[in-house]
Structure 1
Amino acid sequence: MTVAIVWFRNDLRLRDHPALQAALKAGLAPLPVYIHAPHEEGDWVPGAASDAWRHRALAALDSDLRGRGSRLHVFAGDSLATLQAIAAATGATAVFWNRRYEPAIEARDTRIRRELRIQGLRAEGFNGSLLFEPWHLETKAGDPFRVFTPFWKAALSRWNPPRTQPAPSWLPGIEAIPGERALDDLALTPAPPEPRWDAPFWNHWTPGERGAAAALRTFVHDSLHDYSNGRDRPAESLTSRLSPHLHFGEIAPWRIVAELADAGPPDQRAAYVRELGWREFAHHVLHHFPHTPDANFNPRFDDFEWADPAPETLHAWQHGRTGVPLVDAGMRELWATGWMHNRVRMIVASYLTKHLRIHWRHGARWFWDTLVDADLANNTLGWQWVAGTGVDAAPYFRVFNPVLQGRRLDPGGEYIARWLPELQPLPPRARHAPWEAGTANCVVMGDYPRLPLISLADGRRKALEAIARLKRRQSRE
């Protein structure tokens, strides 16, 4: 049987897999291949938390393939040369993959497709990640969207998600190929004598397609009923927690939509699907504005007076030692689980870019290395949205007050107590701003900072003064 290489990337599943289905429909024997090539990711090589997740997701995919008679063939090196060598060794006539949309990867894949076709191979990419690929929606003027609401309105007017497809019940096995590597050889996860810093993650997550399906079931059964309100309460498990599964392609967004179709109240379903829409919008923006992971979308901020971050200040933010409990709780949750509640992400990002006036790129890089759901499109859109420098962004003068936000979203201080156990003995209201009680709380706070790095009032004032100076300078130009 003639072979088709199915090149797995961020699509680590067997259900709803267009590239795999294309091979089967063509009557070809799918050869599942993964090529580890971080050097081809440009300036955004996957971070440590992403690598740790990928290791387990690849192992889960391999197990699922073996249960169907096949297995995952793992390689490392230049993708084009590796694909060419595999095709030569197996007599493969086709290479199929599901598309990715990061700028460096898009450019690489375009070159690979061209070279493989010149060689006489059938080389095709498919949509395995999005409800709408970035070039499918445009304004009436033919331009890319820069504002979410009209983007989502256009998406809903063209709503036609793909049909779900079951995983194949059986796949042919193919012998070992020269150059194959063991998964452990990729060194994606800490190995002795290094400490297993990722070990706590797996108390909270199950990477792989089965883990994604279980997370969706839990969300539908336990959380969807109050999603629109509950998603803002960090102490409660009322978000879907599907973001890493979506990033690694362990579940297709259209399967989520299909399984929500008859679940929960209609308004709650619509609220969640709209959040999927923000993911679509992020990929739309990244494709059309590929400079944005490293540069402001809004060039007027190129002259903004960002503070020169002192290493100890940035370290305090990164490790939950700012003295602002809600910010620190979020950063500790990130360190312990590889994930942070989305509402808290906004607050910690606002604190960094507004109160500390540190450039959003520092935060984006830290999230990139520490989040298991680190996604270039989402990470870029989120940080520039909060910083006020991106498309459809919150204005820079919108400064979240983390104390007021905490008392509104976590009134009992339960989220803070969970991630800052040193503050657990404090009364709920005091957990959000322990400095307000002066020295009365010092005994029970252990070594937690007695005061914030900067007073919230001073940080806000300095941020607003900086944006006012920018406006004055630009008005004179």
Structure 2
Amino acid sequence: MAESISLVWLRRDLRLHDNAALYHALKQGRPVLPVFIFDREILDALDDKRDRRVEFLVQEINRLRDELTKLGSTLIVRYGKPVEVWRELTGQYSVGDVFTNHDYEVYAKERDKTIGELLAEGGIGFHTSKDQTIFERDEVLTGSNSPYTVFTPYSRNWHNKLNTFYLKSYPTETYFTNFCKTKKVFDHEPPVPTLADMGFQPVGYPFPPRTVPDSLLDTYDDTRDFPARPGTSELSIHLRFGTISIRELARQAKAARDKTYLNELCWRDFYFQVLDHFPHVEKGSFRPEYDRIDWRNNEEEFDKWCRGETGYPIVDAGMRQLNTIGWMHNRVRMITASFLCKHLLIDWRWGEAYFGKKLRDYDLSANNGGWQWAAGSGTDAAPYFRVFNPTLQTQKFDPKGEYIRRWVPEFNSLNYPQPMVEHSMARQRALDAYKKGLMR
């Protein structure tokens, strides 16, 4: 009988270094093979076939396989639906255990429950670990052991609890000799599917590096709000897919003179735990009374917003940046989201879904949290009458128009459209609609 092996299912943790699931599998002593599945349950639902996330995944999966090849091992790569793939793998290999890391989205939790049950039928263990967060689920709770619903007290507890234990890396390299090295196994493994194989096309813009200089973190609060400057880390895509370690990044942020970036990582954990404890936010408002608002939902106006043709240069610049490279500066994300919800009175879920299609760093928990913050329907304690003025935001954060000129070169010409809505009128209309909806 063939020697049994352990499989490590990589999902949002595409690295060999400091990986909790990989560490536990390697340390167990059985030969280990990592697995990645291009999940058709997700990919088949993507309308945009120039999706930057898929392009990034193909790049990173090839990198991972190359790294494992240099170690005398390989990465099993499949393109299919997880249940079907796992039936195939457990029939092909003598599998003793499967290791993976936690995911917090509703689909992911249901998928993992199904796979766990499938593996159990064959007597195969299914072990999951915390890896993509510093603190998860029930690790940061109120004094009454309930989840936090407001960020400020959560962050206070989060920072107080942060210590060396939680930031320590898993020394996976110590056990790299335990990767499976049976060449007979590798010869049967198909190549990594290409974008074309899966029906996708490349965009071609380079992805940001997976490191950030200490100097940027030291001055993060001074630079992060100005979209024309290289003042943000742009590590979000690497955090989204786990090509870097959250523990290493948090250690670097904790050592910085300015603790603003560390607080951004705290926000990330906060939105993960909100999604985990309050899964209704995936489809509805965190505060259900906000689902009573009468949205205008004008499709023609929504299309203009999507295309970056609103007549407000800072909004249009952000949307064109998003449509072109699959990323938008965070300050501009707030401005464009506020404009859609408040100026146009279009349901935040429309904007959330559009960002979900376009963002290379799309993360359900953070995207949902950000949109609900803009709409006023989420966990934020600020009242609903916060309405960003795009003109004032431009004067404050892009005073020389450098960001706008890059993405909206025609904004000072006759070809540029007039503002599709007047700010004062739109603000009052939003306040009236919110007040009416919340009084029901």
Given that 1:50 and 1:369 are in contact with CA atoms closer than 8 Å, whether structure 2 keeps it comes out as no
**C-alpha displacement of 1:49:** 2.8
Q: Deviations over 1:179-212 (max 9, x none)?
A: 8564227745734xxxx4x12x32xx15xxxx42
**C-alpha displacement of 1:17:** 0.8
The aligned residue for residue 64 of structure 1 is 67
**C-alpha displacement of 1:173:** 3.3
**How is 1:280-359 mapped onto 2 (pairs within 5 angstroms)?**
280-310=269-299, 312-359=300-347
| Structure 2: gaps of 5 or more residues | none
* Distance (Å, rounded) in 1 between the aligned partners of 2:383 and 2:69: 51
Given that 1:385 and 1:393 are in contact with CA atoms closer than 8 Å, whether structure 2 keeps it comes out as no
Given that 2:10 and 2:36 are in contact with CA atoms closer than 8 Å, whether structure 1 keeps it comes out as yes
Count matched residues: 430
Identify which of 118, 124, 127 aligns with 1:124: 127
* Distance (Å, rounded) in 2 between the aligned partners of 1:290 and 1:43: 21
Q: Deviations over 1:197-238 (max 9, x none)?
A: x12x32xx15xxxx42xx32xx324x2232112111111111
1:250 partnered with 2:243 = yes
**C-alpha displacement of 1:8:** 0.9
The verdict on how the C-alpha distance between 1:40 and 1:135 changes in structure 2, with shifts beyond 3 A counting, is farther
Given that 2:26 and 2:172 are in contact with CA atoms closer than 8 Å, whether structure 1 keeps it comes out as no
1:163 partnered with 2:175 = no
The aligned residue for residue 96 of structure 2 is 93
The aligned residue for residue 138 of structure 1 is 141
**C-alpha displacement of 1:61:** 1.7
Given that 1:327 and 1:344 are in contact with CA atoms closer than 8 Å, whether structure 2 keeps it comes out as yes
Given that 1:386 and 1:393 are in contact with CA atoms closer than 8 Å, whether structure 2 keeps it comes out as no
Q: Deviations over 1:158-184 (max 9, x none)?
A: 224241245535543342486856422
The aligned residue for residue 58 of structure 2 is 55
**How is 1:405-444 mapped onto 2 (pairs within 5 angstroms)?**
405-423=393-411
SS at match of 1:93: strand
* Distance (Å, rounded) in 1 between the aligned partners of 2:241 and 2:399: 34
Given that 1:51 and 1:189 are in contact with CA atoms closer than 8 Å, whether structure 2 keeps it comes out as no
User: What is the identity, as a one-letter code, of the residue corresponding to 2:341?
Assistant: T
TM-score with structure 2 setting the length: 0.91
The aligned residue for residue 276 of structure 1 is 265
The verdict on how the C-alpha distance between 1:31 and 1:236 changes in structure 2, with shifts beyond 3 A counting, is same
SS at match of 2:148: coil
Identify which of 5, 8, 31 aligns with 2:7: 5
Q: Deviations over 1:249-286 (max 9, x none)?
A: 11121110223454x42xx1x21111000000000000
The aligned residue for residue 20 of structure 1 is 22
CA RMSD of aligned residues (A): 2.4
The aligned residue for residue 227 of structure 1 is 220
The aligned residue for residue 107 of structure 1 is 110
* Distance (Å, rounded) in 1 between the aligned partners of 2:293 and 2:45: 24
* Distance (Å, rounded) in 2 between the aligned partners of 1:470 and 1:100: 35
SS at match of 2:95: coil
* Distance (Å, rounded) in 2 between the aligned partners of 1:140 and 1:38: 42
**C-alpha displacement of 1:446:** 5.0
Identify which of 403, 415, 420 aligns with 1:453: 420
| Structure 1: gaps of 5 or more residues | 424-440
* Distance (Å, rounded) in 1 between the aligned partners of 2:195 and 2:401: 44
Given that 2:55 and 2:195 are in contact with CA atoms closer than 8 Å, whether structure 1 keeps it comes out as no
1:173 partnered with 2:165 = no
Given that 2:61 and 2:192 are in contact with CA atoms closer than 8 Å, whether structure 1 keeps it comes out as no
**How is 1:375-390 mapped onto 2 (pairs within 5 angstroms)?**
375-390=363-378
* Distance (Å, rounded) in 2 between the aligned partners of 1:185 and 1:338: 17
**C-alpha displacement of 1:151:** 1.0
* Distance (Å, rounded) in 2 between the aligned partners of 1:103 and 1:59: 28
**C-alpha displacement of 1:239:** 0.9
Given that 1:46 and 1:368 are in contact with CA atoms closer than 8 Å, whether structure 2 keeps it comes out as no
The verdict on how the C-alpha distance between 1:188 and 1:158 changes in structure 2, with shifts beyond 3 A counting, is farther
Identify which of 184, 194, 199 aligns with 1:184: 194
SS at match of 1:141: coil
The verdict on how the C-alpha distance between 1:393 and 1:416 changes in structure 2, with shifts beyond 3 A counting, is farther
* Distance (Å, rounded) in 1 between the aligned partners of 2:397 and 2:360: 24
User: What is the identity, as a one-letter code, of the residue corresponding to 2:432?
Assistant: E
Given that 1:298 and 1:389 are in contact with CA atoms closer than 8 Å, whether structure 2 keeps it comes out as yes
* Distance (Å, rounded) in 2 between the aligned partners of 1:369 and 1:177: 37
Q: Which moved more, 1:47-56 or 1:165-174?
A: 165-174
**C-alpha displacement of 1:114:** 3.2
TM-score with structure 1 setting the length: 0.84
The aligned residue for residue 74 of structure 1 is 77
SS at match of 2:410: helix
The verdict on how the C-alpha distance between 1:317 and 1:185 changes in structure 2, with shifts beyond 3 A counting, is closer
* Distance (Å, rounded) in 1 between the aligned partners of 2:91 and 2:382: 53
* Distance (Å, rounded) in 1 between the aligned partners of 2:234 and 2:381: 24
SS at match of 1:247: helix
* Distance (Å, rounded) in 2 between the aligned partners of 1:349 and 1:90: 48
**C-alpha displacement of 1:76:** 2.6
SS at match of 2:280: coil
SS at match of 2:135: coil
**C-alpha displacement of 1:120:** 1.3
SS at match of 1:12: coil
User: What is the identity, as a one-letter code, of the residue corresponding to 2:275?
Assistant: L
**C-alpha displacement of 1:42:** 11
**C-alpha displacement of 1:247:** 0.4
User: What is the identity, as a one-letter code, of the residue corresponding to 1:20?
Assistant: L
User: What is the identity, as a one-letter code, of the residue corresponding to 2:282?
Assistant: P
**C-alpha displacement of 1:52:** 2.3
Identify which of 418, 433, 437 aligns with 1:466: 433
Given that 2:46 and 2:357 are in contact with CA atoms closer than 8 Å, whether structure 1 keeps it comes out as no
* Distance (Å, rounded) in 2 between the aligned partners of 1:387 and 1:347: 11
Aligned sequence identity (%): 36
